[in-house]
Amino acid sequence: MQISDSLFRLDGKVALIAGAASGIGQAAARGLAGAGALAICADVNEGGAEQTAAEIRAQGYRAESLALNILDEAEVGIAVKALIEKHGRIDVLACTPAVNVRKRLMNYTGDEFDKVINLNLKGTFHVVQAVGRVMEETKSGSIILFSSIRSVTVEPGQGVYAATKSGLVQLARTLAAELGPSGVRVNCIAPGIVETSLTAPIKDRPEWYDAYAQKNALGRWARADEMAGPVVFLASDASSYVTGAVLFVDGGWTAIDGRFTPPL
């Protein structure tokens, strides 16, 4: 096979990024647009989604914004239908929204449990199902879900969050098996500790922040923009034979078995 710099290019592709207003979703949108895709920046925070899209356009790349509440199944269906009517296709889906309630399981309330499960697992399912149906019909596409190192290693206070991230792995694997015959690939990215709004409270606790930094092989936290490369890889032809996989982007955390008991 001839080596080409087009291996990672996404020119002419349409990429839907759920959670694009901030953090990893924003970084994914920037990375996909930079690789040539039209980035559809979707978020429940409509203003934040448009800000991300505007910043991308200001850099000379293509982007649109979309108000999207992934908790609302009907809204997701309507949004996906509208995208197909406008653009005719969705080639890439990157789904990033997540929430965490850091508490011991014995102290969890039913409402807190539902909050984490509904967004991290059920909300993701709504988007994946709607987009997956489109990709199955067009017989192509790449779906990228965001799991976590917490899918395989946990600590006190991470139980329900970890359960959702493990669930996403199995959801992706099953989708890979079901959609593979139609040429659709489904994979997970499992980040380690990343500086985002979700982890912002930890930064106010120096001992906690520093402990996490020392629990991975690189001795530091990840920046959100360091997730963009893995997203582009899984979206592109560079990963054409990769499906049902979990790509750990954790600075070696799971390799060296980092652990910390946080001050809950």
Beta strand ranges found along the chain (DSSP E): 14-18, 38-43, 63-67, 92-95, 141-146, 184-191, 194-195, 222-223, 246-249
Give the active site residue among 61, 108, 161, 209: 161
The DSSP element (H or E) to which 52 belongs, if any, is helix 46-58
212 flagged as catalytic: no
84 vs 246: CA distance, rounded Å: 28
64 vs 219: CA distance, rounded Å: 37
> Phi-psi category of 257—alpha, beta or left, where left has phi over 0 and alpha has psi -120 to 50?
left
Q: Is 246 in contact with 187 (CB distance < 8 Å)?
A: yes
The DSSP element (H or E) to which 87 belongs, if any, is helix 73-87
Return all residues near 33 (Cβ < 8 A) that are at least 6 apart: 15, 39, 56, 59, 61, 62, 63
Closest to 11 in 3D by CA, of 30, 34, 29, 27:
34
74 vs 57: CA distance, rounded Å: 29
Q: Which residues are catalytic?
A: 161
